[in-house]
Amino acid sequence: MTDTELDTACADFDRAVNQRDHEVAERILHPDFALVLVHPTAAVMPRARWLQTLDAYVVHEWAVEEDVRDSSADIGSVLRRVRMRATVLGEDRSGTFIIGDTWLRTGPGWRVWRRHSTPLEAGSLPGA
């Protein structure tokens, strides 16, 4: 079953990342959003820090190779394999990533609560 509102929210989040769009990011991120990494080292980047880093997260290429979505009335799960070329805080952050987004349906609509990102071949995330 496809949730078109969740599909739109996912596309908005992709656009916020790829175009470094603060307005869209502010709207789509849940107030308790965090980027969570477990590899190569465990790190949690809260919403405010993620937004500060957004301008320095330059995506040169972004290709979703696999995308699996599930949703119920109030929670959505999006699991993806993404290949990208990117520079973060001036350092290369290119590679293939497994990205899991947890979405919560709130009054204003779907908002991403957590992004879990695991690089399959990239180095550490600068600034995390």
- Non-local CB neighbours of 126 within 8 Å, separated by 6+ positions: 88, 89, 90, 91, 93
- 101 belongs to a structural domain: yes
- Which parts of the chain fold into alpha helices (H)? 4-18, 22-28, 47-53
pLDDT at 120: 84
Domain that holds residue 56: 4-119
Whether 65 is covered by a domain: the verdict is: yes
pTM: 0.87
Structure tokens, 33: 């959003």
**pLDDT for the residue numbered 3:** 81
Whether residue 24 lies inside any domain: the answer is yes
Q: Is residue 73 part of a domain?
A: yes
pLDDT in tens, the chain (128 residues): 358 999 999 999 999 999 999 999 999 999 999 999 988 788 999 999 999 999 999 999 999 999 999 999 999 999 999 999 999 889 898 999 999 999 999 988 999 999 999 988 655 666 66
SS3 99: strand
- Dist CA 76 CA 14 (whole Å): 16
- Does a structural domain hold residue 127? no
Number of domains in the chain: 1
